[in-house]
Amino acid sequence: MLLQTAAVVAGGVAPHPLSGTAADWVWALPLLPLLGFVLNGALAIVGSARLGPADPSATDGAGHGDAHAGGHDSGHGVEAAAATATETLADGDAGHDDTGGTAAVHRHPYAGLVSIIGPLVLLAAFALACVICAAMVAVQPVTPFIQRYFAWMPVGDLKIDAAFQLDQLSMVVVLVITGVGALIHLFSVGYMRDDPGYPRYFAYLNLFVFFMLVLVLGANLPVTFVGWEGVGLCSYLLIGFWFSDRANADAGMKAFIANRVGDFGFMVAMFLLFANIGTLQYTEIAAAAPTALAVGGPLVTTVCLFLLLGCTGKSAQIPLYVWLPDAMAGPTPVSALIHAATMVTAGVYLVVRTSMLFAIAPAASLTVCVIGAVTALFAATIGLKQWDIKKVLAYSTISQLGFMFVAVGAGAYVAGIFHLVTHAFFKALLFLGAGSVIYAMHAAYHETHSHEDAQDMRNMGGLRSAMPVTWVLMWIATLAIAGIPLFAGFFSKDEILSTVFARAQGSTLSDASWMGIPGGALLYAVYGICLIAAFLTAVYMTRLMLYTFHGPNRTGDTERAHLHEAPVIMTLPLVVLGVLSAVGGFLNDPAFLPIAPTDLLGRWLEPVVGPATLQLTRGVPAEADPRMSAILAAVASAVALAGILVAVVRLKPAALRPAREPQPPETGIEGLLAHKYYVDEAYDRAIITPTVVLSRNILWRGLDGLIDGVVNLVPRIWRWIGDAGSAMQTGETGTYAWVLVVGVVIVLGTVALRT
Amino acid sequence: MLAESLFFSAILFAIGVVGVLTRRNAIIIFMCVELMLNAVNLTFIAFAQVYGYAGQVFVVFVMTVAAAEAAVGLAIIISIFRHRQTVNLTDINLLKG
């Protein structure tokens, strides 16, 4: 400990190589979105104050004035979908508006200003991140650059600073957040433009990015926790963005509560770490962990398992994944940014951040691996039978997050972060593409005042001709996620699979055992499960593409003519993401396929995850055998291709019927999958109902009543005394006189008798 | 002589008390109070015969106060009558708990 303290002091004396460069501006990264939040929030408040009684949306919503005026079918991207509104539309919409307003599309008075501020702060943050990244590339620092602002919680031994930590890991994730975030903000400009709550939407979205950057840049666990809670809050606010629909508000609450369970784990892990190591700063934890904690000991395993609980909540893994599918109630760009690209990967990020702890807790690492693998397979099977286009993507996200967990659990930290990055590209693209589709579908149904579900794939089909740009880009993303060679997902998924395979062959993990199962066998099993999940990924994604874009159109005869491609502001981010999904894999080109500089990301992240990786491989630098890697890659590609082929051969889009018509019954395993294994129902019976019954009958009516009774008894006694006193005040002068006389007689009588 | 005076004033006082307790008309009650005051005055005078003149001084005080009280009290009763057309005390019971 003494030595480490001395090292820290010495580190403080010699200036970090990054000080004096653009990295000094790291504080501005989160502050830019915060500025956007403040400005957009102010515009939302000012705008709502300005809305007069003539405004239709001023009549509903609890004083917000910008409450969702629509409430149409399922309330997804609804107002946005009317962006094509013309004079005729505004006319025809009168009878369509549930709130009884006069005009449906009521663009917010400050929509123009918000459209500039919202994306601009993100673009500025991205530009700054790029400049900082360039400075880092030039300097190649080996230690993290820590910027300390003020002592946040100096209490006894607990000294927590408000500090940011800039290193290769946080840099990569910051670039993803600001880059993909900026694209999604741009997309939102088109998607949400005609929503009455437009400034509020951007305020929340900016606030989310702020908290996400705090999460990533935090130099210690508490600062990260602030961001962790903040993104949870923004997630809640944005899932329930159209809160006038009860289901959306409930989905927000579900996400919030599921995350509370995870946060409990995060906090217990922090308490344990502080109690045993005495510090919560990442650099100090990493330095102290190998000496202060026994390798594979119960303490470090417990800490890691509690951290894992936190990660399963935020990253939607078994058992806490249930909130993510419901989170699709939010606007689709929100699903893309928060529930696919950034927030849900926070768990993966945290595991990599604390990789030194996980590396010396093999049992916990194997648990991460198993949870990831099971989740990947489990969610992929559910994804096979979903009809809602966003639900398919939601389960796909859960499944891909499972892959990332497998990676970080197996100590493939680089592969985990790599998959995080590529997944951010192609999943954001898929969600935004789905957003375009929903946008077009909704606009079409809006034209004819139909209340059909704009997200049900049974109502789509053949959209290829109407939306060629979206079609091409979504296919790119599908090939990327399926793992077809040379697309982004191929490289990252293959790296995960091959690293798991390598770890199974020889590492501290393969020597450890998990619940009596030898680690090596377990890792081979995980590899197998991941292969099956990868196969299913290809199947369900191809299914989504076939049902949405191919085959005959099932939208409706009159609606068909109204299906159009989205405006440029929405397709442009899609194109950028499409390019990234196609070439993003070359970020970390494997050695066996040297068509680009190899292992860029691996070398870049080496200073951060190197020690933990060496711990797992017992100090032997992991040199992947190129031939073995090539074989594994060939297997993975074959599996992906097989998945696509199976889907193309077996699925018959022509046989589908629109959602409004009677459907063939889903029985047996199909029904099980369509009902998501009845997990929600099981949770409802096993946890929620007992909790509610207990709270209502024992806590509320029982215990609460008892305590209330005791507490209320005291004032009630005084009340009785007061009532008795006040009853004597009759107001009758005669009574008073009688009382006076009687009193005098008694007093005088007493005096007389005594003397 | 003293005993007779005290006896007489005690009877006067008792009559006043009974009047205050039994009657309902404010004027009559008022007069009964005056009766009680005068009974006290008589006691003072009677004792003054035996113990010196201090009692007679007190009587002057009591009469002064009684006069002032009569002025104020009657004014109140009149204003109550103007408001409520009655001086019956059973009807005047607004001040109660």
The reply to whether A277 falls in a domain is no
A653, A660, A435: which is closest to A556 by C-alpha?
A660
Q: Are residues A326 and A415 in the same domain?
A: no
More confident residue, A611 or A129: A129
Q: Does one domain contain both A625 and A489?
A: yes
Tell the residue number behind the tokens 């049974």, with chain if given: A458
Inform me whether the pLDDT recorded for A53 exceeds 80.
no
pLDDT given for residue A111 in this prediction: 86
pLDDT at A78 over 60: no
Q: Which of B17, B29, B90 sits opposite A741 (nearest CB)?
A: B17
8 Å CB contact of A733 and B92: yes
Mean pLDDT for all residues in chain B: 91
Residue A250 in any domain: the answer is yes
Domain boundaries, given as residue ranges, for chain B: 2-89
Average pLDDT, chain A: 86
User: CB–CB of B90 and A732 under 8 A?
Assistant: yes
pLDDT-wise least confident of A82-96, A571-585, A737-751: A82-96
Neighbouring-strand partners of residue A164: A147, A218
Residue of B36, B87, B92, B93 to mutate, interface with A, max A Cβ within 10 Å: B93
Residue of A nearest to B14 (CA): A741
Across the interface, of B21, B29, B93, the residue whose CB is closest to A730 is B93
Q: Is there a single domain that holds both residue A619 and residue A679?
A: no
Mean pLDDT, residues A192-218: 93
Task: Tell whether the model's pLDDT for residue A72 goes beyond 60.
Answer: no
Q: State mean pLDDT over A605-634.
A: 84
Question: Are A734 and B92 inside 8 Å of each other by CB?
Answer: no
Spell A249-267 as b/e; 16+ CB within 10 A means b: bebbebbbebbebbbebbe
Interface of A with B (CB under 8 A): 725-734, 737-738, 741
Side chain identity, residue A123: L
- Report residue A13's pLDDT band, with 50, 70 and 90 as the boundaries: low
Please check whether residue B89 touches A, CB under 8 A.
yes
- Each residue's pLDDT tens digit, A102-126: 345 667 888 889 999 999 999 999 9
Band (pLDDT 50/70/90 cuts) for residue A50 is: low
Higher pLDDT, B91 or A121: A121
Checking if the pLDDT of A127 tops 50, the result is: yes
Residues of chain A neighbouring B24 (CB-CB closer than 8 A): 734
Q: Which of residues 17-56 of B touch A (CB under 8 A)?
A: 17, 20-21, 24, 29
**pLDDT > 70: what percent of chain A?**
90
Structure tokens at A396: 């796909």
A332 and A374 housed in the same domain:
no
CB environment A650-676: b (16+ within 10 A), e (fewer) = ebebeebebbeeeeeeeeeeeeebeeb
Specify whether A657 is located in the same domain as A720: no
Q: Cα separation of A585 and A420, whole Å? A: 12
Calculate mean pLDDT across residues A78-86. Answer: 37
* Residue A388, SS3 per DSSP: strand
Query: In this predicted structure, what is the pLDDT of residue A291?
Result: 85
pLDDT score recorded for residue A453: 87
Q: Is the CATH code 3.30.420.40 the one for domain B2-89?
A: no
Please answer yes or no on whether A728 and B97 come within 8 Å at the CB atom: yes
CB A622 within 8 A of CB A465: no
DSSP string, A323-345: HHHHGGGS-HHHHHIIIIISGGG
What whole-number distance in Å separates Cα of residue A370 and Cα of residue A500? 12
End-to-end CA distance of chain A: 90
Q: Which residues contact B48 (CB under 8 A, 6 or more apart)?
A: B54, B55, B56, B59
Residue A430 resides in a domain: no
d(CA A65, CA A49): 8
Q: What is the pLDDT of residue A629?
A: 86
**pLDDT given at position A623:** 66
Q: Which residue has the higher pLDDT, B92 or B38?
A: B38
Neighbour tally for A699: CB within 10 Å:
12
| Surface-to-core class of residue A734, CB atoms within 10 Å of its CB (0-12 exposed, 13-18 middle, 19+ buried) | middle
Q: What is the ipTM metric for this complex? A: 0.87
- My answer on whether A106 and A147 are in the same domain is yes
Q: Model confidence over A533-548: pLDDT tens digits?
A: 999 999 999 999 999 9
Test mutation, B13, B15, B20, chain A, max A CBs within 10 A: B20
Is A537 within 8 Å of A643 (Cβ atoms)? yes
Cα B82 to Cα A54, A80, A732, A733, B78: the distances in Å are 57, 75, 20, 19, 6
Give pLDDT, residue A2.
41
Beta-carbon contacts below 8 Å between A and B:
30
In this structure, the answer to whether residues A330 and A471 fall within a common structural domain is: no
Residues A485 and A580 in one domain: yes
The SS3 of residue A153 is strand
CB contact under 8 Å between B89 and A733, yes or no, is yes
Strand intervals (E) in A101-144: none
Contact B97 A733 (CB under 8 A): no
Cα dist from A376 to A317, A380, A422, A509, whole Å = 9, 6, 17, 20
Q: What confidence score (pLDDT) does residue A384 get?
A: 92
Q: Residue A440 is which amino acid?
A: A
- B93 to chain A: closest CA residue: A731
The closest CB to that of B21, out of A725, A730, A741, belongs to A741
- Residue A307 pLDDT exceeds 70: yes
Convert A379-411 to b/e letters by CB count within 10 Å (16 or more is b). Answer: bbbbbbbbbbbbbbbbbbbbbbbbbbbbbbbbb
Parallel/antiparallel/unpaired status of strands A513-514 and A517-518? antiparallel
Give contacts of A727 with chain B, Cβ < 8 Å: 97
User: pLDDT (tens digit, 9 = 90+) per residue, A312-364?
Assistant: 999 999 889 999 999 999 999 999 999 999 999 999 999 999 999 999 999 99
State the Cα–Cα distance between residues B13 and B17, nearest whole angstrom.
6
When CB atoms are compared, the residue of A727, A734, A738 closest to B97 is A727
Selected residue of B13, B15, B17 to mutate for chain A interface (largest A Cβ count, 10 A): B17
Residues of B with CB below 8 A from A732's CB? 89-90, 93, 96
Question: Under an 8 A CB cutoff, do A729 and B93 touch?
Answer: no
Q: Which residues contact A656 (CB under 8 A, 6 or more apart)?
A: A457, A458, A461, A547, A551, A554
Question: Which of A96-100, A211-215, B75-79 is predicted least confidently?
Answer: A96-100
Token readout for A213 is: 């950057």
pLDDT at A486 over 80: yes
Mean pLDDT of A24-46: 93
Task: Give domain status of residue A733, yes or no.
Answer: no
Cβ-based contacts of B84 with chain A (< 8 Å): none
Residue A101 above 50 pLDDT?
no
pLDDT tens for A684-714 read: 999 899 999 998 888 888 888 899 899 999 9
CA-CA distance, B97 to A725, in Å (whole number)?
8
Any idea how long chain A is? Answer: 755
What would the mean pLDDT of A163-173 be, rounded to a whole number?
A: 94
Query: What are the structure tokens assigned to A752, written together?
Result: 């007389």
Task: Please give the Cα distance from A502 to B77 (Å, whole number).
Answer: 110
**What separation in angstroms does the CA of A163 have from each of A135, A144, A146?**
20, 12, 7
Residues 6+ apart with CB under 8 A from A682: none
**Token representation of residue A192:** 């949400």
Query: Are residues A489 and A370 located together in one domain of the fold?
Result: yes
Pair (A214, A174) in one structural domain: yes
pLDDT at A6 over 60: no
Nearest to B96 among A730, A738, A741 (CB): A730
Question: Is A351 inside any structural domain?
Answer: no
Residue A655 CB partners (closer than 8 Å, separation 6+): none
Residue of A720, A723, A732, A742 to mutate for B, most B C-beta atoms under 10 A:
A732
Question: Which pLDDT score, from 0 to 100, does residue A110 have?
Answer: 85
Query: Are A68 and A183 within one domain?
Result: yes
Give B94's contacts in chain A (Cβ within 8 Å).
731
Residue A734 and residue B21: Cβ atoms within 8 Å? Answer: yes
Q: Tokens at residue A593, please?
A: 């396929």
Residue A214's H or E segment, with its range, is helix A198-217
Lowest mean pLDDT among A12-16, A239-243, A643-647, A664-668: A12-16
Query: Of A358, A220, A214, A217, which Cα lies nearest the Cα of A281?
Result: A220
Predicted confidence at residue A61, as pLDDT, reads 39
- Structural domain boundaries, residue A40: 22-255+317-342
Return the closest-CA partner of residue A91 out of A80, A82, A102: A102
> Quick check: A731 and B94 CB within 8 A?
yes
Point out the residue among B21, B89, B97 whose CB comes nearest to the CB of A738. B21
Domains contained in chain A, number: 3
